[in-house]
Amino acid sequence: MNELVHPYHCFIRPTVTHTTFCPGCGDGTVAQSILRAIDGLGMDMDDFVFVSGIGCAAWIPSPFFNADVLHTTHGRPIAFAFGIKMGLPDKKVMVVSGDGDLVAIGGNHLIQNARRNIEMTVICVNNGIYGMTGGQAAPTTPMGVKTTTTPYGTFENFFEDISGLVIAAGASFVARWTTAHPRQLTNSIKKAIQKKGFAFIEVLSQCPVQFGRKMGTGNAVQMLEDYKKRSISIKEAKKLSPEELRDRIVVGEFVDLDKPEMVEEVTRMIRRASGEVQEVVDAGRG
Amino acid sequence: MDTLRIYDELCKGVEECGICIYVCKEEVFRPSETLNQKGYRPPVIVNEDLCTQCENCMIFCPDLAVVVSEKKRKKGSK
Amino acid sequence: MDEKRVHTGRYFMMGNVACAEGALAAGCEFAAGYPITPATEIANHLAEKLPRVGGAFFQMEDEISSIAAVIGASWAGKKAMTVTSGPGISLMLENIGFAIGVETPCVIVNVQRGAPTTGMPTIGIQGDMVQAKHGSHGDYEIIALCPSSPQEMFDHTVIAFNYAERYRTPVFLLSDAFVGHMREEVVIPEAEKIETVYRNIPEPGTDPLKVKGFLDEDVAPMPIFGKGFKAHVTSSCHDEYGKRNLIDISALDKFVRRLSNKILKHKEEITLVERDYEDAEIVLVSYGGVSRAAAAAASQARKRGIPVGTLRLITVWPFPGEEIEKMARKTKQVIVLENNLGQVYPYIKAEAAHFAEVSFLPPKLVGEIQDPEDILKKIEEVSK
- The length of chain B, given as a count of residues: 78
Gap from B47 CA to chain A (nearest CA, Å): 17
CA angle (C61 as vertex; C56, C67 as ends), nearest 5: 65
Residue range(s) occupied by CATH 3.40.50.920 in chain C? 273-383
Is domain C9-193 annotated with CATH 3.50.50.60?
Answer: no
Q: Which CATH architecture does the domain made up of C273-383 adopt?
A: 3-Layer(aba) Sandwich (3.40)
* Mutation for C interface: A11, A71, A115, A268, most C CBs within 10 A: A71
Q: Residue A67: closest CA among chain C residues belongs to which residue?
A: C230
Structural domain spans, chain B: 4-75
The amino acid present at A43, given as its one-letter code, is M
Identify each DSSP E strand in chain C by its residue range. Answer: 9-14, 30-33, 56-59, 80-84, 106-112, 143-145, 170-176, 183-188, 232-234, 273-276, 282-287, 308-313, 315-317, 333-336, 357-360
Compare CB distances from A87 to C68, C77, C236 and report the shortest one's residue.
C77
Gap from C210 CA to chain A (nearest CA, Å): 12
DSSP string of C3-56, one letter each residue: TTT---EEEEEEHHHHHHHHHHHHT--EEEE---TTTHHHHHHHHHHGGGGT-E
CA angle (A248 as vertex; A242, A250 as ends), nearest 5: 85
* Mutation for A interface: C29, C212, C233, C247, most A CBs within 10 A: C233
How far apart (Å, rounded) are the C-alpha atoms in residues C154 and C23? 8
Residue range(s) occupied by CATH 3.40.50.970 in chain C? 9-193
C309, β-bridge pairs: C283
Q: Which is nearest to A52 in space by CA: A22, A30, A36, A37?
A: A30
Gap from B55 CA to chain A (nearest CA, Å): 10
How far apart (Å, rounded) are the C-alpha atoms in residues A260 and A117? 7
What is the mean pLDDT for each group of 10 consecutive residues in chain A (286 residues)? 87 94 98 98 98 98 98 98 98 98 98 98 96 94 93 95 97 98 98 98 96 86 97 97 95 98 98 82 47
How far apart (Å, rounded) are the C-alpha atoms in residues C213 and C192? 31
How far apart (Å, rounded) are the C-alpha atoms in residues A11 and A43? 11
How far apart (Å, rounded) are the C-alpha atoms in residues C131 and C110? 11
**Could you tell me if C140 and C355 are in contact, meaning their C-beta atoms sit under 8 angstroms apart?**
no
Tell me phi and psi for residue C316, to 5 degrees: -95, -35
Gap from A62 CA to chain B (nearest CA, Å): 15
Size of interface A-B (CB pairs under 8 A): 83
By three-state DSSP, how is residue A199 classified?
Answer: strand
> What per-residue string of b and e applies to C236-247 under the rule 16 or more CB within 10 Å gives b?
bbbeebbbbbee
Strands C315-317 and C143-145 turn out to be antiparallel
Cα distances from B40 to residues B9, B20, C195, in angstroms, run 9, 14, 60
Cα distances from C107 to residues A77, C5, C70, C141, in angstroms, run 20, 17, 9, 15
Q: Which is nearest to A46 in space by CA: A65, A67, A69, A31?
A: A67
ipTM, interface predicted TM-score of the complex: 0.97
- pLDDT per residue, tens digit, chain C (384 aa), is 566 999 999 999 999 999 999 999 999 999 999 999 999 999 999 999 999 999 999 999 999 999 999 999 999 999 999 999 999 999 999 999 999 999 999 999 999 999 999 999 999 999 999 999 999 999 999 999 999 999 999 999 999 999 999 999 999 999 999 999 999 999 999 999 999 999 999 999 999 999 999 999 999 999 999 999 999 999 999 999 999 999 998 999 999 999 999 999 999 999 999 999 999 999 999 999 999 999 999 999 999 999 999 999 999 999 999 999 999 999 999 999 999 999 999 999 999 999 999 999 999 988 788 899 999 999 999 998
Query: Domains plus CATH for chain A?
Result: 19-279 (3.40.50.970)
User: Is the CB of B64 less than 8 angstroms away from the CB of A221?
Assistant: no
Q: Which CATH architecture does the domain made up of B4-75 adopt?
A: 2-Layer Sandwich (3.30)
* Mutation for C interface: A70, A120, A267, A272, most C CBs within 10 A: A70
Residue A175's Cβ-side half-sphere holds a number of Cα atoms within 13 Å equal to 25
